[in-house]
Amino acid sequence: MGTEQPSPEAVLFDLGNTLVAYWAPAEWPAVLHSAIEGTMRFLERVGRLRVSADAVWQRVEGHNHELPAHRVYPLRERLAGIFGLAGEEEVLLDQALLNEACRHFLAPVFARGRPYADVLPTLAALRDAGIKTAVVSNSPWGSPAALWRKEIERLGLRQLVDADVFCGDVGWRKPARPIFDLAVRKLGVAPDRCVFVGDDPRWDLVGPRALGMRAMLIDRTGRTAVPDECPTQSLDQLWDRLGLPSRQ
């Protein structure tokens, strides 16, 4: 018989496809296309689009990748390269313009975001039980953490989580250790008293377990097959799986 694990003091959650529906993996090319189109229209409107549409699309593929060793490739740098801004000193100094370009890039992403029906009740119940919560997430194309914090507010999650950490805060993507280290510091909870819940085994199992956290998968589609893992399909099942106190 295995040793019974104590109830956690904190539960950390991935964001996309764990708490919030944005897109299925096969939909990313269409989402990216909308994001680039929106950015291109913005730069054209403010008179800063100085490369052709054909050149933009040729460059997109060259920037649609992540850096080695899970380093963050920031969205500002990607957009500067795609739209030919990197060589313009005045634009490099104009962070407001790049920030606004990032906002337009993310607009079609945020337009798709909807919390799953089980999210707000689960977060509220965890808070009522005295269990801390956090959002710990990578962001698409290294998009700025500040914009994702506004998204958390829009989704109604702000008042229900004790901390949030995005890859842009530390310069490293999950499963690299720094993003998890910062999260547990913010919460003030030891890693072995935390549980991480996420949908991607590449980022959401290896990373937290390396720190001594428990980690479990959520598979809302029922299509993820990972040896020796038994994903949950709903946060409603989380309570029993983690041995949490009875819900009121």
CATH of 10-22+114-241, one of 3.90.1200.10, 3.40.50.1000, 1.20.120.80, 1.25.40.10: 3.40.50.1000
pLDDT of residue 142: 98
pLDDT of residue 245: 63
Domain ranges in the chain are 10-22+114-241, 26-112
| Entry pTM | 0.93
pLDDT of residue 85: 81
pLDDT of residue 117: 96
pLDDT of residue 87: 57
Q: Return all residues near 82 (Cβ < 8 A) that are at least 6 apart.
A: 36, 56, 59, 60, 63
pLDDT of residue 246: 61
* Weakly modelled stretches of the chain, pLDDT under 70: 1-4, 86-93, 245-248
pLDDT of residue 238: 87
Could you read off the pLDDT of 56-90 as tens digits, one per residue? 999 999 999 999 999 999 999 999 999 988 655 55
Q: Return all residues near 105 (Cβ < 8 A) that are at least 6 apart.
A: 35, 36, 38, 39, 75, 79, 141, 143
Beta bridge partners of 133: 11
Q: Taking a C-beta distance cutoff of 8 angstroms, is the pair 49, 83 a contact? A: yes
pLDDT of residue 9: 95
CA distance 152 to 111: 13
> Dihedral of CA 135/141/142/146: which sign?
negative
